[in-house]
Amino acid sequence: MKILLTRRLHDFAIKELKKRYQVEIHTGKIPMPKNLLMSKIRDKDGLICYPYDKIDADVISAGSSLKAISTFSVGYDHINVNAASRRGIVVSYTPEVLTRATADLTIALMLDLFRRVNEGDKMIRKGRWKTILGPYEFLGSDLYGKTLGIFGMGRIGMAVAKRASGFEMKVLYHNRKRILPQKEKSLNVKYVSFDELFRRSDVISIHAPHTPKTHEMINLKLLKKMKKTSFLVNTARGKIINEKDLATALKRKIISGAALDVFGNEPIDGSNPLTRLPNVVITPHIGSATVETRRKMAEIAVQNLVLSLSGKKPIYQVKVESSRLDRP
């Protein structure tokens, strides 16, 4: 069988794949240009891809021998799962193994916003730390006693809630479906409406998938409902936020600040207005970027593909009924 990787994976993973398949690895421009992807997929049985590869209906129909798609990610909004399923192609992904790493980064970003870590670093590097700070200068705020609002109470949302309780924060959440009462109790979280979540929280953290329903769901109208002193953290998908509206809200101090690991179109550069705002902390989509986690993701991505191509159930299969997206 022949497989295509839209980018190189860890050496051990490539070795495993080469034991079984004829492996082609794209080494050029990232993401792989659509016409190239469509021509390379033509004779392949399997594909390993990433969130920036648009595996749309055109790519899927070009892959006339395609039997399995394995994405190196928990998100699968880049894959037209319904088109794949209509062709009997198995789509698999890598949840669970990246939950802790992503939750850890979320907390790091939250701490940065509350305690102005980046701002202090930048101030010193720019040579602007002139006198020892006085009692009222460069103050942040305590996490203790503050309300964290989690939008999307899946695996990552829950891991963030657990960590937040260690900081003695109050945790509210909103999810498509309310979680079980026992789970709410053990996590010490309270279910509220979407509106209430944004009105009552001191910091909102997004952990929902990107779907037609969540697309740019965070807009100016919603941001205006948030407290002036509040923050927004996003380690999920950039397209859940209307970035122009967020930049406006930050400029006009409608909210206090934001920490973003994900963006509508990645990578971003200095031309993105968000990079020029002092009350924004930005990281380059590193939620799952730890040595340990990325290795586990590679292991799962390979196992998922191998199982799917041998007609078995992959470890984590994207289910059609849970694939909330008939796009791109």
Catalog residues that contact ligand 8YV under the rule CB under 6 A. Answer: 50-51, 72-75, 98, 285, 287-288
Catalytic residue among 237, 243, 299, 327, which?
A: 237
119 is an active site residue:
no
Q: Are 45 and 31 in contact (CB under 8 A)?
A: no
**Alpha-helical segments (H) within the chain:** 11-20, 34-41, 57-62, 81-86, 99-115, 117-125, 155-166, 181-187, 194-200, 220-223, 243-251, 291-309
Whichever of 73 and 106 has its CB closer to ligand 8YV, that residue is 73
Q: Are 186 and 208 in contact (CB under 8 A)?
A: no
Closest CB 16 distance from ligand 8YV, rounded Å: 19
Closest CB 242 distance from ligand 8YV, rounded Å: 20
- Rounded Cα distance, 323 and 78, in Å: 11
237 is an active site residue:
yes
Whichever of 174 and 239 has its CB closer to ligand 8YV, that residue is 239
Catalytic residue among 178, 266, 276, 292, which?
A: 266
- Rounded Cα distance, 220 and 148, in Å: 20
Q: Are 274 and 257 in contact (CB under 8 A)?
A: no
Residues across the chain: 328
CA–CA distances in Å: residue 47 to residues 60, 70, 185: 10, 6, 41
Closest CB 325 distance from ligand 8YV, rounded Å: 13
Closest CB 50 distance from ligand 8YV, rounded Å: 4
87 is an active site residue:
no
Catalytic residue among 285, 294, 299, 327, which?
A: 285
Whichever of 72 and 173 has its CB closer to ligand 8YV, that residue is 72
Whichever of 223 and 236 has its CB closer to ligand 8YV, that residue is 236
- Catalytic residue numbers? 237, 266, 285
